[in-house]
């Protein structure tokens, strides 16, 4: 039985195998060419690689899929990052006049990292995650995915597990790729509710009336809050964590009442009900701080974005299907249809899929006949497709393929128009 256990010492042996037989180059290339609608879109894209011993190589670029493939199979990067599409080929960035080399376009990206939730999760801290806190990522994806689609009108969102403790989102719509820095930061700020660093206790402050976006986001949090915050994180159980929650209660009188209520009530669910009741009572009376129970929910559950990653056009982000060098897990696209059952610990490691490759094949004989008819290059390509299909990577590659197919639908119209113009019927 192949195991998912990974030892980073094996990476130098595993990576060549992964890049030679498993990495989905053709889909990857298809993604980054975006239907070939814009000239040199792939050629001017920056890739950067992290090699063994944290050696970092920036401004790599490739003219064809084969060139990318060859280079990656040669240097076997520990990590792959994707940057912007530049005005010139990034590999030549030193040869063009300084200042004219500029980042023009990039997907709108979001990076959500579990370490940013350290003040509100009790199960783990820093780089550690568990099934309990993973719910935070589920909530984050639900909230952002809805807002990006319904509020901003984007359609092509690729959600990717980062390989360790977070998720990334790549918004691939043409309009998103062309956004200015100012627009990116406006979007990111629209989506940010939790504000303030270690010097701020109360990080969410709502004003009346509640914006539809916040209302929709709260509806998502509602679905998960009791199970996640009250049960799994037990935020109203232990004295210490109760105090943290009560620090967010706006008024002293209210606070005293709640403290008294809690003396006689030990059950966390009931305590939460008491907080809710107090809030409802409050909503009739005062203007200020009337939404404090919502503020508590959001402070504990609302997605915490790294705004700086989203802002910059030239910011690099770890590529899908890159290996996480510490955990060995592949950065796989997440299928939102199955989001609630997505388990980061079930994501295959490079060790697992390489081992799966070595299992005996079945049904090989039938296909061999067909192979002889094709030329050799096609055969190699098809062998590779068969390769990943025999591993646990298959379903993630399939999802990626579906994502690309959907995107291709959207530019079909554009391509038709273009060929009409050229009168090629």
Partner 1 sequence: MLFSGRRRKVNLNAQSELYEHAVQFYVQPPLENISLNEFETFAVERLKLLKTIETLGVSYVKLSEQYKKKLESESKNLNFPYRSETDDRKIPPGGLSECEKRRKDHISHFILRLAYCQTVHNPYREELRRWFIQQEVDLFRYRFSELHSKQKLEFLHRNNLQYDAISAEEKSELQRELIDSTYGVSGITVEQQDFYKVPFQDALDLVRTRKVYLRAGYAYIPHQDIVTIVLNDFRTRLSKALALTARSLPAVHSDERLQPLLSHLSHAYVGQDYSVQKNVGKFSLEQVDSLSGKSFPLCMRQLHQSLRENHHLRHGGRMQYGLFLKGIGLSLEQALQFWRSEFVKGKVDADKFDKAYAYSVRHMFGREGKRTDYTPYSCMKVILSNAPGQGDHHGCPFRHSDPELLKQKLQVYKVPPSGISQILELVKGMHYQLACQKYFELTHNVDDANFSLSHPNQYFIESQKILGGGKDLKREADVPQRSQEAAGGLAEMSEDLDSFFQDG
Q: Are 329 and 161 in contact (CB under 8 A)?
A: yes
Q: What is the DSSP letter of 129?
A: -
Among 3, 5, 199, 341, binds partner 1 (CB under 8 A): 199
Q: 151, 257, 265, 371: which one contacts partner 1 (CB under 8 A)?
A: 151
Angle between helices 364-373 and 376-389 (to 10 degrees): 160
Query: Does 422 contact partner 1 by CB under 8 A?
Result: no
User: Is residue 92 a contact residue for partner 1 (CB under 8 A)?
Assistant: no
Give the contact letters, 200-229, x = binds to partner 1 (CB under 8 A), - = no. Answer: xxx------xxxxxxx--------------
Rounded CA separation 290/288 (Å): 5
22 vs 297, which CB is nearer to partner 1?
297
Stretch in the footprint of partner 1 (CB under 8 A) among 98-106, 322-330, 336-344, 385-393: 98-106
Catalytic residue among 46, 69, 173, 293: 46
Under the criterion CB under 8 A, does residue 153 sit at the interface with partner 1? Answer: yes
Please name which of 124, 295, 282 lies closest in space to residue 200, comparing C-alpha atoms: 295
Which tokens go with 4?
A: 């998912």
CA distance 168 to 267: 37
Stretch that binds partner 1, among 26-34, 198-206, 224-232, 269-277 (CB under 8 A): 198-206
Restricting to residues 296-315, which ones interact with partner 1 according to CB under 8 A?
Answer: 304, 306-308
The smaller minimum CB distance to partner 1, of residues 36 and 153, is found at 153
Pairing outcome for strands 157-161 and 166-171: antiparallel
Of 299 and 319, which CB lies nearer to partner 1 in the complex structure?
A: 299
Asked if 183 is part of the footprint of partner 1 (rule: CB under 8 A), the reply reads: yes
Q: Which of residues 2-41 bind partner 1 (CB under 8 A)?
A: none
**Residue 293 Cβ, how far from partner 1 at the closest point, in Å?**
19
In terms of phi and psi (left: phi > 0; alpha: psi -120 to 50; beta: otherwise), the region of 169 is beta
Q: Which 106-145 residues touch partner 1, going by CB under 8 A?
A: 115-119
Instruction: Considering the complex, state which of residue 118 and residue 222 has its C-beta at the smaller distance from partner 1.
Output: 118
Least separation in angstroms between CB 356 and partner 1: 34
Q: Which is nearer to partner 1, 71 or 189 (CB)?
A: 189
Q: In sequence order, what are the beta bridge partners of 330? A: 323
Is residue 306 annotated as a catalytic residue, yes or no?
Answer: no
Which structure tokens are listed for 337? 């249809």
Size of the residue set binding partner 1 (CB under 8 A): 46
Kindly state the smallest distance separating residue 177's Cβ from partner 1, in Å.
13
Comparison of 149 and 231: residue with beta carbon closer to partner 1: 149
Bridge pairing between strands 317-318 and 79-86: antiparallel
Which residues are within 8 A (CB) of 259 and not within 5 positions of it... i.e. 6 or more apart? 246
171: closest CA among 162, 184, 182?
184
d(CA 15, CA 57): 17
- Residue among 111, 232, 293, 387 flagged as catalytic: 111
Q: For residues 196 and 251, what is the distance between their CA atoms, to the nearest angstrom?
A: 20
Given 107, 113, 173, 232, the catalytic residue: 113
Which residues share a beta bridge with 168?
111, 160
Q: Is 51 in the site for partner 1 (CB under 8 A)?
A: no
Extract the runs of DSSP E, i.e. beta strands, from 299-402.
Answer: 317-318
The verdict on whether 113 is a catalytic residue reads: yes
Q: Measured between alpha carbons, how far is 340 from 106 in angstroms, rounded to an integer?
A: 29
CA–CA gap between residue 131 and residue 345 (Å, rounded): 8
Residues at the site binding partner 1, with contacts judged by CB under 8 A: 53-54, 97-100, 115-119, 150-154, 175, 179-180, 182-183, 185-187, 189-190, 194-202, 209-215, 304, 306-308
Catalytic residue numbers read: 46, 111, 113
């Amino acid at each position: 039985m192949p195991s998912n256990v990974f030892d980073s010492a094996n990476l130098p042996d595993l990576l060549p195998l992964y890049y030679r037989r498993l990495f989905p180059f053709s889909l990857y290339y298809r993604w980054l060419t975006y239907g070939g609608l814009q000239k040199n879109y792939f050629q001017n894209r920056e890739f950067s690689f992290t090699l063994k011993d944290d050696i970092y190589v920036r401004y790599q670029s490739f003219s064809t899929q084969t060139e990318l493939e060859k280079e990656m199979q040669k240097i076997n990067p520990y990590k792959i990052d994707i940057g912007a599409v530049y005005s010139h080929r990034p590999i030549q960035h030193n040869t063009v006049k300084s200042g004219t080399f500029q980042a023009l376009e990039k997907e709108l990206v979001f990076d959500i990292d579990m370490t940013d939730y350290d003040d509100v999760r009790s199960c783990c801290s820093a780089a550690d995650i568990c099934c309990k806190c993973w719910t935070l990522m589920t909530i984050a994806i639900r909230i952002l995915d809805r807002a990006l689609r319904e509020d901003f009108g984007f359609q092509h969102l690729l959600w990717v597990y980062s390989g360790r403790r977070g998720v990334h989102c790549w918004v691939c719509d043409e309009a998103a790729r062309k956004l200015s820095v100012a627009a990116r930061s406006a979007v990111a700020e629209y989506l940010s509710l939790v504000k303030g660093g270690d010097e701020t206790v109360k990080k969410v402050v709502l004003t009346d009336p509640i914006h539809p976006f916040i209302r929709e986001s709260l509806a998502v949090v509602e679905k998960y809050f009791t199970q996640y915050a009250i049960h799994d994180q037990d935020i109203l159980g232990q004295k210490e964590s109760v105090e943290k929650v009560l620090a967010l209660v706006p008024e002293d009188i209210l606070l005293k009442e709640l403290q008294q209520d809690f003396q006689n009530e030990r059950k966390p669910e009931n305590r939460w009900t008491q907080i809710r009741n107090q809030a409802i009572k409050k909503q009739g009376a005062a203007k200020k701080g009337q939404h404090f129970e919502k503020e508590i929910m959001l402070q504990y559950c609302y997605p915490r974005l790294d705004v700086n990653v989203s802002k910059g056009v030239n910011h690099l982000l770890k590529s899908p299907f890159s290996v996480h060098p510490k955990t060995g897990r592949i950065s796989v696209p997440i299928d939102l249809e199955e989001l609630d059952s997505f388990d980061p610990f079930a994501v295959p490691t490079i060790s697992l899929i390489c081992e799966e490759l070595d299992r005996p094949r079945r049904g090989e004989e039938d296909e061999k006949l067909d192979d002889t008819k094709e030329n050799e290059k096609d055969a190699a390509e098809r062998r590779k497709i068969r390769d990943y299909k025999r591993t646990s990577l298959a379903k993630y590659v399939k999802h990626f393929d579906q994502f690309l197919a959907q995107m291709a639908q959207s530019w079909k119209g554009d391509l038709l128009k273009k060929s009409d113009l050229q009168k090629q019927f």
